Amino acid sequence: MIMLDRADRALLEAVQKNNRLTSEELAQTVNLSPTACQRRLKRLREEGVIEADVSIVSPKAVGRSITMIVLVSLERERADIVDRFKAAIRATKEVMIGYYVTGDADFILVITAKDMEDYEAFTRRFFYENHDIKGFKTMVVMDRVKAGFAFPLDL
């Protein structure tokens, strides 16, 4: 595995919250020269430690006011069926997050929809027409208490 020193971790910690900081600003928090920060970030990106750099948009602002969590059980847990379902997840834009899990369900999905009608149309298309699916259980999100993919990095 790639070795990360204290400075790398501090940089990651910072850009996980805000990746538009200038190298000058980063330099202050990390106690390094701007150039060094920049070179390290470049390396972290090349090595894949930083997987992506993205903007987070407000669901409300773009008319995606509803979020659902769906627990999905497949008919059989056979490799080809699982793989086929994974592909369906990746190809479906309404699915924001998809986890393949052990336990009560086989998959857990986070779905966005414009409204209930939109969600219902989605379920019909995505779930009912898929014969690999044994059943699914929907939970409506009332509050997104916390959301992010920021990992705690003990410095």
φ, ψ (nearest 5 deg) of residue 48: 90, 5
Question: Under the criterion CB under 8 A, does residue 149 sit at the interface with a copy of itself?
Answer: yes
**Per-residue tokens: 5:** 């020193």
Question: Under the criterion CB under 7 A, does residue 17 sit at the interface with DNA?
Answer: no
φ, ψ (nearest 5 deg) of residue 113: -145, 155
By a kind-dependent CB cut-off of 5 to 8 A, residue 7 interacts, out of a copy of itself, DNA, none, with DNA
Question: Under the criterion CB under 8 A, does residue 107 sit at the interface with a copy of itself?
Answer: yes
Question: Under the criterion CB under 8 A, does residue 5 sit at the interface with a copy of itself?
Answer: no
Question: Under the criterion CB under 8 A, does residue 1 sit at the interface with a copy of itself?
Answer: yes
For DNA, the closer CB: 43 or 76: 43
By a kind-dependent CB cut-off of 5 to 8 A, residue 40 interacts, out of a copy of itself, DNA, none, with DNA
Question: Under the criterion CB under 7 A, does residue 42 sit at the interface with DNA?
Answer: yes
CA torsion 80-85-89-95 (nearest 10°) is -160
For DNA, the closer CB: 20 or 144: 20
Q: What is the distance between the alpha carbons of residues 127 and 99, in angstroms, rounded to a whole number? A: 16
CA 62 and chain centroid, separation: 18
**Phi-psi group of 133: left, alpha or beta (phi > 0 → left; psi -120 to 50 → alpha; rest → beta):** beta
Which residues from 38-97 bind a copy of itself, rule CB under 8 A?
47-64, 67, 69, 86, 89-90, 93-97
For DNA, the closer CB: 45 or 84: 45
Q: What is the distance between the alpha carbons of residues 8 and 41, in angstroms, rounded to a whole number? A: 8
- Residue that has been written with the tokens 């929907």 in this structure: 138
Binding residues (CB under 7 A) for DNA: these are 7, 22-24, 32-36, 38-40, 42
